[in-house]
């Protein structure tokens, strides 16, 4: 694919973030299967095989995220593993203690993965850039935040981010590579749609949170 993914675990995607996202999406489904198997009092041969396959798939997915070199994958694997553990435990055991154990376990796994894939023996695998270069997330977030302030409250207009962004780049750092998205849907919505976009997004998140809580407490 592109030179930015050469030697990195991008799978069939052009960007490692997309591969990491696909693997993150698999974790809740694996956890749901493990939770269903856990709820059974007796496991037949077929269920035992599913348990082995699901456990192996979880290890494979977490390893793939560690290998991807995706900053977003590294950050999101922690809450995703926490929710996965809660799915395995079930809502009847969703206590504060269980949540704390899940969080500690997820942070521990993420820490071990980072240490393992940062050793000299595995140099080149799972590496990523946490710096503040012109194409880094830190730089793009900072410059997009300036754009949000300048165009507030109406925004640049839908789809205008790529045209408006160059005005916020430092001329000395401009290369043949250029930014077309903000690396954050939330910031890009705020930049393009202004206050109206932020209100719509907030309403969507509130609705999603309420519906998620209702489904979680339904016992289904």
DSSP codes of every residue in 6-59: TTS--TTSSSHHHHHHHHHHHHHHHHHHHHHHHT-SS--HHHHHHHHHHHHHHH
Angle between helix 71-89 and 45-68 (nearest 10): 160
* Count of CA atoms in the C-beta half-sphere (13 A) of 201: 14
Over residues 51-101, the pLDDT tens digits come to: 888 888 888 888 888 888 787 788 888 888 888 887 787 755 445 555 565
Q: 């503040």: which residue's tokens?
A: 132
Over residues 160-182, the pLDDT tens digits come to: 999 999 999 887 777 777 788 88
Whole-model pTM: value is 0.61
Q: State the Cα–Cα distance between residues 183 and 145, nearest whole angstrom.
A: 12
């Amino acid at each position: 694919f592109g030179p930015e993914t050469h030697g990195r675990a991008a799978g069939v995607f052009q960007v490692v973030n997309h591969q990491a996202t696909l693997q993150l999406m698999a974790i809740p489904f694996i956890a749901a299967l493990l939770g269903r198997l856990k709820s059974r009092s007796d496991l037949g041969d077929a269920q035992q095989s599913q348990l082995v396959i699901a456990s192996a798939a979880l290890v494979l997915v977490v390893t793939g995220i560690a290998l991807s070199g995706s900053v977003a994958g590294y950050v999101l694997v922690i809450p995703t593993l926490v929710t996965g553990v809660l799915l395995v435990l079930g809502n009847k055991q969703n206590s504060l203690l269980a949540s704390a154990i899940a969080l500690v376990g997820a942070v521990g796994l993420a820490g071990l993965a980072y240490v393992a894939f940062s050793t000299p023996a595995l140099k080149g695998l799972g590496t990523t850039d946490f710096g503040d270069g012109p194409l880094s997330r830190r730089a793009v977030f900072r410059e997009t935040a300036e754009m949000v302030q300048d165009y507030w409250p109406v925004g640049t207009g839908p789809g205008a981010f790529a045209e408006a962004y160059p005005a916020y780049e430092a001329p000395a750092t401009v290369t043949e590579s250029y930014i077309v998205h903000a690396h954050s849907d939330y910031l890009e919505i705020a930049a393009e749609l202004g206050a109206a976009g932020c209100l719509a997004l907030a309403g969507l998140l509130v609705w999603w949170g309420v519906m998620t809580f209702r489904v979680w407490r339904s016992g289904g």
